[in-house]
Amino acid sequence: MSALFPWSAVLGQERLKLALLLCAIDPAIGGVLVRGPRGVAKTTLARAFAELLPGSFVELPLGATEERVTGTLDLGKVLQQGEVQFSPGLLARAHQGVLYVDEVNLLPDALVDLLLDAAASGSNVVERDGVSHAHPARFVLMGTMNPDEGELRPQFVDRFGLSVTADGALPPAERAQIVLRRLEFEQSPQRFAERFAAEQRVLRERCAQARERVAELGFAGPGLARVAELCHAARVEGVRADLAMLRAARAHAAWHQRSTIEVADVEAVAELALAHRRRVPEPPAAPRGSAGSASSAGSSSSAASSSSAASSRSAGSGAAPAGGSASGERGVLPPVPVPARPVSVPSSWTRAVAQRGSAGSQRLVASGARRLRRHGTRSVPGSIDWFGTLLRNPRPSVQELRRRRRNVPAQRLWLILLDCSGSMLRSGALALAKGVAAALTAQAAAAGARVALISFAGATADARLGAAPREVERALAALGGGGGTPLRSALEQALAVCRSPSHRERTLEKRALLLTDGRTRERVADLSASWRQLSLRVVDCERGPLRLGHARQLAAVLGAEYAHVDSLLDPSA
């Protein structure tokens, strides 16, 4: 077996190391979600991390079927001996080790739901095709993703215990040292591993001792009150953040051989539990006189702060500051509030299509996955159709096995193009347009769709791509307005998003909503051929007694559906 790059030889990524060590001590924390670009040692750390655990490293491919993950009938036994016997899947192989999912945001929702259920319960139960089997499945789930390729749905993000943004910006000296170590490893893997063998042995022993010690630690103490205070101040939904933070703080205390959970333990892990759940930008200051955090992986308070800032930048995807967007001339004006009068969009705009599956069908698959497994329902897509197979041939060969048709669910990408120009601001239309955009974002989130916001005013268009719906809502609230109407730039940027590699999937349905009063001097007729291939709806936001009808003309030029913003106002309000 070839040598692995040792954990002790990995430079940097101290917050990620800390998160993984905490989950190794207590897998009940719920796994680690890692955001960040490629080439920052995410996979290297995951493989090296498995060496510190009793189990093995198991990588789940994006194209895996549910049967391969959970396990199913042993086909050889059935066909050759007529015996019904369970064949373990990836969850069984990952027991007491690491289950690694690269690009977890591209994994089908049903499999994400399945993995998170197993990670939280520590067991896997399969009841179908004549098999009734349960086995332990306690593993550290590590999912990595590049936010530029699309976000993981919010309900799944929240179920990861900890979250880290991997740092891709390294100082020159550290970069040089990383490259040198990698070259040394490639030249002689065995000799390089021997160089760090002593450090690896100490690390494994310390992990094992912490795992034994963590069960003896209670949760009561000064740390518990600090957890409640931080989660309340961050306005997180539910108590998952409290549970993950308290378990992580207990693991941190066990790592440092403490007998109780101290405030310092909570401070060391707080951002790991809150980064993907926080609904306010900054955590509260630590109580006066409390000790600062000191993580075993070499992290410090300043490192945690920088990691928090990096996480906020990544999650916000360029959200504007409170004073308005920095694009064009909008930054000189304060944010425009959404209207007090209720605004809504018809449910038909975001309703799922039925033919090939959709984001709505994804939701049905995800919510029904446990019922399919636990109640023995035989309609799991991709599973073997034993009734159909045996009806054709009582003694089938492997080649004659029939599988149920797999319904590949389609996802939907919503592009919201928001006109923040001076004419929209002066007429009060911008506030209504923001209300429509917020309503569509909420509906899209409920349907599991992706959302990209492109606001335009002044000289340029400002895109926030792959942002979570909650972050889009924050960006909308922060937008100001003023200046000209660079409509052409916005339309071209939206087309570029649709043609980008991360949005070329055959099953990705693309829709766009253009909120504008149409008052622009730019010509866009030459873009009509491209836009007629997409589903575009223009919402006319022109207000006041003098209406020029430019938005209606624009919709006709681009071959788009047309609606006026007045039709979206609640008449009873």
Instruction: Report d(CA 94, CA 55) in Å as an integer.
Output: 7
Instruction: Report d(CA 100, CA 94) in Å as an integer.
Output: 9
Q: Of these residues, 159, 240, 247, 450, which one is catalytic?
A: 240
E runs forming strands in 375-489? 411-419, 450-457, 460-467
Instruction: Report d(CA 135, CA 222) in Å as an integer.
Output: 37
Instruction: Report d(CA 430, CA 448) in Å as an integer.
Output: 26
Q: Is 288 a catalytic residue?
A: no
β-pairing, 57-59 with 162-165?
A: unpaired
Give 540's strand partners.
516, 564
Rg of the chain taking only CA atoms, in angstroms: 26
Region of 38 on the Ramachandran plot (φ > 0 left; ψ -120 to 50 alpha; else beta): beta
Classified as helix, coil or strand, 443 is helix
Q: How many residues does the chain have?
A: 573
Residue from 158, 148, 155, 159 nearest 35 by CA: 148
Instruction: Report d(CA 265, CA 248) in Å as an integer.
Output: 8
Classified as helix, coil or strand, 116 is helix
Residue from 243, 256, 198 nearest 7 by CA: 198
β-pairing, 450-457 with 460-467?
A: antiparallel
Q: What share of the chain is helix, strand, coil (3-state, %, to 5)?
A: 45, 15, 40
Residue from 38, 55, 46 nearest 10 by CA: 46
Q: Report in angstroms the alpha-carbon separations of 10 from 187, 274, 499.
A: 17, 26, 37
Instruction: Report d(CA 415, CA 532) in Å as an integer.
Output: 15
Residue type, 57: F
Instruction: Report d(CA 64, CA 108) in Å as an integer.
Output: 9
Instruction: Report d(CA 135, CA 87) in Å as an integer.
Output: 12
Which residues 6+ apart lie within 8 Å of 48 measured at CB?
4, 5, 6, 7, 10
Count other C-beta atoms under 10 Å from residue 116's C-beta: 20
Is 89 within 8 Å of 82 (Cβ atoms)? no
DSSP sequence for 67-100: HHHHEEE-HHHHHHH----EEE-HHHHTTTSEEE
The residues carrying an active-site annotation are: 240
